[in-house]
Amino acid sequence: MTNKIVHIGCGAGFSGDRVDASIPVVATLAKRQGPRYLIFETLAERTLALAQKHRRKDPSHGYSPFLEAYIRPILKTCHESGIRIVSNFGAANPMGGAAKIAEIARELGCTGLKIAVVEGDDLFQFLSEEEISNYPTIEGLEIGDNEVVAANAYLGARPIADALAQGADVVVVGRCTDPALVLGPLVHELGWPEDDWERLAAGTMAGHLLECGGQVTGAYFADPGYKDVPDLARVGFPIAEVGSDGSLIVTKADDTGGLVSAQTVKEQLLYEIHDPANYFTADVILDISQVKVEEVGPDRVRVSGARGKPRPDTLKATVSIDGGWMGEAEMSYAGPNALKRAQLAVDVLKQRCREIGTNCPVRFDILGTVSVHDGDGGGGGAAGDWPDDGDYRVRVASRGHDKEGIERINQEMLSLYCSGPAAGGGFRQHLTDQVQTASILVDRTLLATRIRMMEVSA
């Protein structure tokens, strides 16, 4: 039996990724033979809660705000070339996302395009808010009495494979595991059974390597003089070639920058992995502890040795709760004795916070010394021996449910223009509403997934 190969490209690795990265991926896939797919991963943990907030303001919203920017440049070529699209664009409103894609498809003349919507990730379909709040959390916060903004289970590859079996050219999912975007097409094309743990593991590993887009092809990797990457500004997004035997080659779009090397693949392989022998997904427990990575050609890396264990009985779900507000404000001090003036600004702000009775967590940084590597209580080197002359920026950050109190702290930074040390400038501030997340485990039999199909008419 010949080894059938499925080609799967990735067009986005997070909500906010480059909107034109998919164009060279599609151009490359269009030249190839055999089953070809394009995935977009646009739904980080809290993105869905933000989408839910949008939907509450306007019921037609709540799908990925970047959907049109991602879909429009490539939809017609994909339709004409037989490249099928799988994405979690749906976020809090998969039907709304599908309707938007149908609208774009009609404009582009993609008559006959079939769009499938996978529903069933929204726990509110199956549980009350009180029932959700009573689940014990496995990571993140306790849910407590906070308002639940969104609660969604991570669906696996099966409903995606089912939608493809029904003839979908585009599959829109809300919350699913990121690797399922890749595993779904593989299960459909290669007919892998539900308990073929070794192959499901191989497909899940392929999905894990692809789901962050350019992070496996030289992006988020470059370190000049240490890890040089050609033409990073035009970094090519990845394409996986997965065989029916579970073999995997990672490569990238033709005529692009970036690189695929053993190093780039290893960094992404371990990204957001805890115990390498036990990576839990909805479809399989993936074990990458024995994986081997080999360069087999220019920008071609073979990855082998994934092992699988039976899938867990539970599905992970993310519960998003209202998280109050975060305030951030900054002011710069530069030139002679700038550090002393910046430190004085911090001292003034600390005293002001005490005197106005601030009772939320507050952090101060002087950017230009150590900031992101410092701790909330120091200790990371910010208080070290930095030059007095320089170009420093004072930052204050605070968070809590008392919006006025947070705004007041930002305002205290602003007041330094006239009431602080000499020559503060470049004030900026942000006040953003926060979503906090907790994870729970739900019995997979609790959920019923449903596939809805729509076809684009002339």
Partner 1 sequence: MSGMSDIQETRLHEVAHARAGDKGNRSNISLIPYKPETYALLLEQVTEVRVLELFAHKGATKVTRYELPNLPALNFVIDDALEGGVNAALNLDQHGKTLSYLLLGLSVSMPRALILHPAPE
Q: Which is nearer to partner 1, 37 or 364 (CB)?
A: 364
Q: How far apart are CA 167 and CA 453, in angstroms?
A: 9
Residue 376 interacts with partner 1 (CB under 8 A): yes or no = yes
Q: By CB under 8 A, name the one of 32, 363, 428, 444 that touches partner 1.
A: 363
Residue 267 interacts with partner 1 (CB under 8 A): yes or no = yes
Q: By CB under 8 A, name the one of 1, 372, 418, 448 that touches partner 1.
A: 372
Nearest Cα to Cα of residue 14 among 79, 73, 82, 89: 89
**Smallest separation (angstroms) from partner 1 to the CB of 326:** 8
Q: Which is nearer to partner 1, 196 or 267 (CB)?
A: 267
Residue 374 interacts with partner 1 (CB under 8 A): yes or no = yes
Q: Which is nearer to partner 1, 189 or 365 (CB)?
A: 365
Q: By CB under 8 A, name the one of 61, 208, 252, 399 that touches partner 1.
A: 399
Residue 319 interacts with partner 1 (CB under 8 A): yes or no = no
Binding mask 326-355 for partner 1 (x = CB under 8 A): x-----------------------------
Q: With the CA atoms of 260, 262, 267 and 269 taken in that order, what torsion angle do they form, in degrees rounded to the nearest 10?
A: 90
Q: Which is nearer to partner 1, 73 or 324 (CB)?
A: 324
Q: How far apart are CA 66 and CA 395, in angstroms?
A: 31
Q: By CB under 8 A, name the one of 81, 247, 337, 371 that touches partner 1.
A: 371
Angle between helices 338-356 and 403-414 (to 10 degrees): 150
**Smallest separation (angstroms) from partner 1 to the CB of 240:** 19
CB neighbourhood size of 263 (10 A): 15
Q: By CB under 8 A, name the one of 163, 365, 421, 442 that touches partner 1.
A: 365
Q: How far apart are CA 370 and CA 384, in angstroms?
A: 8
393 phi, psi to nearest 5 deg: -135, 125
Q: By CB under 8 A, name the one of 69, 270, 422, 453 that touches partner 1.
A: 270
**Smallest separation (angstroms) from partner 1 to the CB of 266:** 5
Nearest Cα to Cα of residue 78 among 125, 41, 42, 27: 27
Q: By CB under 8 A, name the one of 398, 412, 440, 454 that touches partner 1.
A: 398
Q: Which of residues 33-92 bind partner 1 (CB under 8 A)?
A: 45-46
CB neighbourhood size of 424 (10 A): 22
Q: Which of residues 91-150 bind partner 1 (CB under 8 A)?
A: 139-141
Q: How far apart are CA 333 and CA 102, in angstroms?
A: 53
Quote the tokens at residue 277: 């022998």
Contact call for residues 143 and 133 (beta carbons, < 8 A): yes
Nearest Cα to Cα of residue 268 among 213, 197, 201: 213
Residue 266 interacts with partner 1 (CB under 8 A): yes or no = yes
Q: By CB under 8 A, name the one of 77, 244, 263, 429 that touches partner 1.
A: 263
Quote the tokens at residue 394: 């004072």
Q: Which is nearer to partner 1, 163 or 206 (CB)?
A: 206
Radius of gyration (Cα) for the chain, nearest Å?
25
**Smallest separation (angstroms) from partner 1 to the CB of 24:** 24
Residue 15 interacts with partner 1 (CB under 8 A): yes or no = no
Residue 268 interacts with partner 1 (CB under 8 A): yes or no = yes
327 phi, psi to nearest 5 deg: -115, 140
- Give the β-pairing of 36-40 and 5-12: parallel
Q: Which is nearer to partner 1, 22 or 146 (CB)?
A: 146
Nearest Cα to Cα of residue 161 among 83, 238, 84, 95: 84
Q: How far apart are CA 421 and CA 213, in angstroms?
A: 46
Residues forming contacts to partner 1 in the complex (CB under 8 A) are 45-46, 139-141, 220-221, 223, 225-227, 263, 266-277, 288-293, 305, 323, 326, 361-363, 365, 367, 371-380, 395, 397-399, 436-437, 439
